[in-house]
Structure 1
């Protein structure tokens, strides 16, 4: 289960190599915002070379925006490379964009980044666009600009919307968007706790020092683990809906959530 996704610039192969040893669950090589126009071609070639072989850590690539001059060349250069675990598609605003990329990329896992009001409004349709689509997430910097939002709470509705749409589309819970201040780890922890309460699972990072904070925030605490163990044990003894001795009502959905909590707790024991 992936909790930490580390973004690294595609025109810095040395930084990508370090990222693969950072402890992140997955590395996202960025060909878009982190790379200037004059470095796009070099970043693409360096990333394609990196992905001629597999890596222990899954490597995803965020290609350039699909309507940009560079996206077509990105998709062509990356198609069929054995080390490519997934493609992140920025600024998706219509399901047809996902379907078009899926036809061009030979079945590699796709992830749609929703960065506009229109993209968020169409989140469910985008989530159902093609079987190759494995996840949704928000691009909050662009979304803030599109909505004219400055306060942190101003994005709560779009965040809940993408969590709901992903679930309705049968996709995994989305990871949180990046936290831009790499120095304020306390604020990062607070933000992660809020994201977890909204239904996110894990988070993208832009610096390795953020990874342990994200992981701790999304791993269950001892009380959560104990409660999950009680639920799973009771469900084994009495299949179907039941009431626990303390009055809590348990149905299959609650049991499924308890199993996920225990899966995450085993990760903490590694």
Structure 2
């Protein structure tokens, strides 16, 4: 199930191939095989080898597979990139703990073909330093297709105890991504897989801040995330009204109720309808 607007990104530990296989059938838009936080130190080499075996051939599944490598600048990350980046089954690389544009450029020079093909790069900002450099990171290289937060590490780095204490950081990344012409970021994971009500409330907050979709750590979270980020019937109706007016009005766009909207609003309405029409 591919879509131009991924809403659900499901993590699966690289050292558990059976869990990865289940993740590929779980209904996520993208599966992220994790070589970093989900894998114990003594399982890193096995996780890398198992992931390389999985992705050694082009994926027959319609679900794109990304791989989160280990922290950049470490021997583990270097080994991950050598083993994983050239494989035909890898659609994207998620780069943890990015702190500068140089981090992205170094990976791109090693991992991205000269013709600009796969894999795409996705940077995770997880520190105060990375947050300060968010726009520079977002514009570092054409192969960078996404920017998002790693909230657990950022929370620890900033000493933030309450969830709302990260709202400024969240908005900073949303603005940096959009200013760079990147898609809206996906939200960081909700760590309590049993707290679906809390997940829904958090997604609503994230959507209000400008995020689009969310990473998950368990399949049961996927329907909640998708429902939270899909447009409501009222939003679809309004978007259709706006796009209809745009198709017939050559100047300022006037809606039947007397409201005037500009081109930026029209583009937002078009994105809303594209999201509503995504394959389910």
TM-score, structure 1 as length reference: 0.98
Instruction: Give the C-alpha shift of residue 38 in structure 1.
Output: 0.6
Indicate yes or no: 2:107 matched with 1:97.
no
1:265 matched residue in structure 2: 276
- Structure 1 contact 61–88 (Cα < 8 Å) conserved: yes
Q: Distance in 1 between matches of 2:110 and 2:129?
A: 24
Q: Distance in 1 between matches of 2:199 and 2:85?
A: 35
- Structure 1 contact 27–60 (Cα < 8 Å) conserved: yes
User: In the TM superposition, what are the counterparts of 1:137-176 in structure 2 within 5 Å?
Assistant: 137-176=148-187
- Structure 2 contact 185–212 (Cα < 8 Å) conserved: yes
For the residue of structure 1 that corresponds to 2:109, the secondary structure is helix
Indicate yes or no: 2:237 matched with 1:226.
yes
Q: Distance in 2 between matches of 1:121 and 1:168?
A: 15
Alignment counterpart, residue 217 of structure 1, candidates 225, 228, 233: 228
- Structure 1 contact 110–132 (Cα < 8 Å) conserved: yes
Q: Distance in 2 between matches of 1:239 and 1:219?
A: 30
- Structure 2 contact 34–67 (Cα < 8 Å) conserved: yes
1:188 matched residue in structure 2: 199
1:62 matched residue in structure 2: 68
1:73 matched residue in structure 2: 79
Q: Distance in 1 between matches of 2:127 and 2:65?
A: 26
- Structure 2 contact 64–91 (Cα < 8 Å) conserved: yes
2:116 matched residue in structure 1: none
1:2 matched residue in structure 2: 6
For the residue of structure 1 that corresponds to 2:91, the secondary structure is strand
For the residue of structure 1 that corresponds to 2:86, the secondary structure is coil
- Structure 1 contact 240–252 (Cα < 8 Å) conserved: no
Q: Distance in 2 between matches of 1:43 and 1:247?
A: 59
1:50 matched residue in structure 2: 54
Indicate yes or no: 2:25 matched with 1:21.
yes
What RMSD in Å do the two structures reach over aligned CA positions?
1.0
1:245 matched residue in structure 2: 256
Q: Which runs of 5+ in 2 are unaligned?
A: 114-118
User: In the TM superposition, what are the counterparts of 1:90-129 in structure 2 within 5 Å?
Assistant: 90-107=96-113, 108-129=119-140
Q: Which runs of 5+ in 1 are unaligned?
A: none
- Structure 1 contact 94–126 (Cα < 8 Å) conserved: yes
For the residue of structure 2 that corresponds to 1:267, the secondary structure is coil
Size of the aligned set, in residue pairs, is 269
Instruction: Give the C-alpha shift of residue 266 in structure 1.
Output: 1.3
- Structure 2 contact 120–145 (Cα < 8 Å) conserved: yes
Instruction: Give the C-alpha shift of residue 240 in structure 1.
Output: 4.1
- Structure 2 contact 85–93 (Cα < 8 Å) conserved: no
Q: Distance in 2 between matches of 1:194 and 1:25?
A: 21
